[in-house]
Each structure stands twice: as structure tokens, then as C-alpha cells.
Structure 1
Amino acid sequence: MDKKNLIGKSVLIVEDDPKIRGLLRIYLQKDGYEVIEAQDGIEGRKMIERYDPCIVILDLMLPGMSGEELCRWIREELKSMMPIIMLTAKATERDRVEGFRLGADDYVVKPFSPAELMGRINAVLRRTASRCGKLSFTGFILKPARGEAWIDGNELALTSFEFKLLHLLMQHPNHVMTREQLLDGIYEKNERDVTDRTIDVHIKHLRQKIKEQTEKEYIQTVRGMGYRFVAV
């Protein structure tokens, strides 16, 4: 599997058993996914509102707010089509039918094979690829199709140039991009009438807007080379 293509794909695990969460985290991170965790349904709801994950792995027997209730909230109140894989000890045909009726995309019974679950996650994400056409890094979410950038649930007010610049940097996390590369990614060769230093001005404005929302340093300057987006 090409891990490079999976960078930015976030998975929320809503599971009260820390051993199961830990096992899933190992397999998911090995395949390049960003992992978000919640130990009950209430925390799971908060994580969904904050991070808008690509897919949810949802235990049904949860304290506080059951998996069924959380699934119903996602589909009926949030009105989201985010993929949901139910992970549960409930194994009867009736339980499975009810899970799909609530809006689950797949249903996996405990005990389960982690390798099989990974295959199901990949299959569901392939079917729903258009829904997760975004880049996500620990609360920093970019939605190219909508032209939106969010940090911890707060939308950034970006100019068109700033958005394109951020998009280019986030497409190559932890890699240095020169000013020339960034300009080439934003302009057609015959349309360019700006200097490389134009990038510096827009980076400064972009950093200021990010700083208003978080103390994390997402954009680093690499002296003598250019800039990089740090996937913290």
C-alpha cells in the first residue's frame, strides 16, 4: 500500500476498551492513517464535531451514549454521510440488520481479525473517496472542493492565493517546497508576473491567520530553501 496516498486520511476509533483501541491504532498508523480516539459516545461526538474524520470505527456498547445513538446522531442530526464501520460483540442477524438500518456502511463482529478490518476500512474509503476529498492533520482540515480551511472547528478566512498556497504545502507534508515550486503550482508559466518574494508576504499573512487559532507552528521556514508544512 502506498502510504503517501493515505497521508491526511483520519480515522476515529470510538471504543471503551483501551486494548482494542491500542491494537487498532498500531495497524492504522502502520498504514499511514491519522488516528483519533474516543473512549465513549459523548467524547466520540465531540471528536466528530472537531475533526470531521474520514471514517468512524464505532463500538456499539459504549458508556454515556451508545454506538447506536451516536450513529443515529451522525445520520439524522448531523446529516453526514461519513463512513461508519460498527465493531461489536452483537452477532445476531437481527443486530446486523439494525446496524445497517441505522446507517452503518459495514459491520464487524468481535473478536475480529485486525488485518480483515483494515481491508474493510480501505474498501469503504475507496467507495466513499469523494466524501473524504480533504487533507487532515490533527485538527487542521483543508477541503479543496469547498475552498475551506478549518483549525479545531474554526474556519480560516483565507484569500484565494493563501488557500492555494496552503493546499500546495499540505499536499506535501514535512517536505520542503521552494518559492519557485510554490509559484509554479499556483500560476501558469505564462501568467506569472510576480517575484519569488511574493510567497514570503503571503506566508506571513497565512501564519498570522493560523496563529489566531492555534499556537502550533504548522508552517516552517527552511533557510536557503523554502517552506514546509509540518504535520504535527
Structure 2
Amino acid sequence: MTQFRPCIDLHQGKVKQIVGGSLNDKGAKENFISEYNAAYYASLYREHGLTGGHVIALGKGNHEEALSALRTYPGGLQFGGGVTARNAAGYLEAGASHVIVTSYLFKDKEFSWDRLDKIKRETGVDRLVLDLSCRRTEDGWYIATDRWQTITSMPVTHESLTELADHCDEFLIHAADVEGLQAGIDEELVSLLGQGCPVAVTYAGGARSLEDLKRVNDLSNGIVDLTIGSALDIFGGQGVTLDDCILWNQAQSA
């Protein structure tokens, strides 16, 4: 059954919620800047037994905050943001349950199977999450790298998901076009992900209420988990509370 997955998004050394499609070298459109640090949120998630969440470093200046979160909740959070074959093991040693990788796997917009093999040798399949965050085009969804600004040649289809599933433990997929807008989830993408995705998959983007958890559960037959960011009360949102999400998870587990 669909579970709520927590997140900690880091930008310029602070916990933030941003509009995903606005992120570039100059900054981003910000929905929320927290007065609390990453360790605070990691402790909160640990206290409530929330697992499978992710810490994402959006650009430079987030390294120490990311490490503090991983050390606060060892084994309870995944880490993504600038992960390569060279540094992946270090994040696992710092406490990440998994590392999340995307941009490293592409060279000149083309997927690199050689780089995938290199990072698998460092992490193992069971501690690797492939970030297939994507943007919609006239021809469907395509993986977007470099803070979701570069659209690659790799489509997100049933065939590509099946092919990549043998090389990782999970998928993480932000719908970059609706990320941070609180305008509703991309229902077509969620439905696609729910069509027999071979590994666990977490979707993020556009969620605005508890009803979205129910909707994702229905659209994906309970296969896809959901991250809620900007709409969540702990990030200044008014659409849904963390307590509601905790109760949802408990009900699904029961």
C-alpha cells in the first residue's frame, strides 16, 4: 500500500521548499525557508519511525547539513545530490541507508551503463536508488538532470523502468514540472509508475493534501509511495499535517 515518505531538501545550506522547475545557478523560487536545520527534521522523522525518506542537496553549500541529518538518523534516510562513484561509499558510511544518483549516470545527455556499473561496485544494488526525475515533453516523460534543467535522451517508460530495475533497489521520481507548485500530482505519470514497476518507487511533485495519498494509492494499486513537501505543515504548508501522514502510514501498515 502507498506510504508517505518524508524529505529534507537542502538549498544554499538551509532546509527549503522550492519550485523545482525554477532551480538554476542564480537560485530558485522559494516556497519556504526553515528556521530549523536538517538534523532537526531527521530527529523528527526518527522519533516518529518514518523510514525511506530522502535528503536531497540541491547545488553546493549543503554538505555539512546533509551529513548532520544522516548522522542524526543513521540508516533512516537516503541521500542524493552530486553522488558519484567516488563519494557514494562515504555517504553510506556517514549513515545513509541508500545513495540516490542521477546526473552522474549521464554524459552529454546519454545514459552511461559504464558509470552505472562503477557506482554499483561501490554501493551494491541493494543500497542504490536511481533518481529518474523527469520533465514532460511532446513525446512523453524524459529524465532531467543538472537540477532538472537538462532533458536527457532517456525516456521514462515501462520498458526503461523494467530495464533499470535490475540495477537498483528503488526509484525516486520527481515530476519536475509540478514540483513545489501544490497544484496536484501528475496523475498520468503516477499511473505509469503503478503499471507493474519491478522495484519500490517514490513519486514527488504537486501533492497538496491527504487526498493525494489516497489518489496515488488508487492510481498505482498501492505500488507507488508519495513524498509531500511544500503542502506539509512542518514546511509552512496548510494542505496536510505530518500527524495526518503518520496516521495514514500506520493505517496502511495495519
Tell me the TM-score normalized by structure 1.
0.35
Between structures 1 and 2, the one with greater helix share:
1
Tell me the TM-score normalized by structure 2.
0.32
Of the two structures, which has the highest relative contact order with CA contacts closer than 8 Å and spacing of 6 or more? 2
Between structures 1 and 2, the one with greater strand share:
2
